[in-house]
């Protein structure tokens, strides 16, 4: 079901129970892992959850593109998470290249990595 994962795709996932401010339950997630991760690590995916709550935080990136999400949503770049691909239930769509670029920029800031090209 989850073959052909790609960076920038949005999937519906069951994240299970959360603790504290972790996102939980059934919600859309953005695939953020690169192909170099997704191909050899075929049982896991690195994702960021989406929220429909507009908090006004600069690191919450508006989900723009053919997302398949009916409501305006933001990618929570501070909540990078590795999940089993068994949690991924249905492909919803894809983020625009511009929005995905903003997501990877925030990820590089949070992880102290060089800015992506």
Alpha helices in 48-88 (DSSP H): none
**pLDDT (0 to 100) of residue 1:** 44
**If we measure between CA atoms, which residue out of 73, 70, 90, 74 comes closest to residue 26?**
90
CATH of the domain at 54: 2.30.30.110
Range 89-114 average pLDDT: 93
**Are 1 and 86 within 8 A, CB to CB?**
no
Residue 96 tokens, joined: 């625009």
61 assigned to some structural domain = yes
**pLDDT (0 to 100) of residue 3:** 63
| pLDDT digits 0-9 by tens, 104-115 | 999 999 888 887
Report how many domains make up the chain: 1
* Phi, then psi, of 73 in degrees rounded to 5: -140, 155
d(CA 82, CA 106): 17
4 assigned to some structural domain = no
d(CA 8, CA 96): 8
**pLDDT (0 to 100) of residue 25:** 77
2 assigned to some structural domain = no
| pLDDT digits 0-9 by tens, 14-47 | 988 777 777 777 899 999 999 999 999 999 999 9
Residue 84: give the domain boundaries: 9-111
| pLDDT digits 0-9 by tens, 47-74 | 999 999 999 999 999 999 998 988 999 9
Q: Does residue 117 surpass a pLDDT of 80?
A: no
Q: Does residue 101 surpass a pLDDT of 60?
A: yes
**pLDDT (0 to 100) of residue 16:** 81
117 assigned to some structural domain = no
């Amino acid at each position: 079901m989850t073959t052909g994962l790609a960076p920038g795709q949005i999937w519906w996932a069951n994240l299970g129970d959360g603790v504290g401010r972790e996102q939980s339950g059934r919600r859309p997630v953005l695939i953020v892992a690169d192909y170099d991760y997704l191909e050899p690590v075929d049982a896991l995916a690195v994702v960021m959850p989406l929220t429909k709550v507009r908090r006004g935080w600069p690191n919450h990136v508006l989900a723009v593109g053919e997302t398949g999400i009916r409501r305006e949503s933001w990618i929570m770049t501070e909540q990078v998470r590795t999940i089993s691909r068994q949690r991924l239930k249905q492909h919803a769509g894809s983020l625009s290249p511009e929005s995905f670029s903003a997501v990877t920029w925030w990820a590089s800031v949070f992880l102290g990595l060089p800015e992506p090209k």
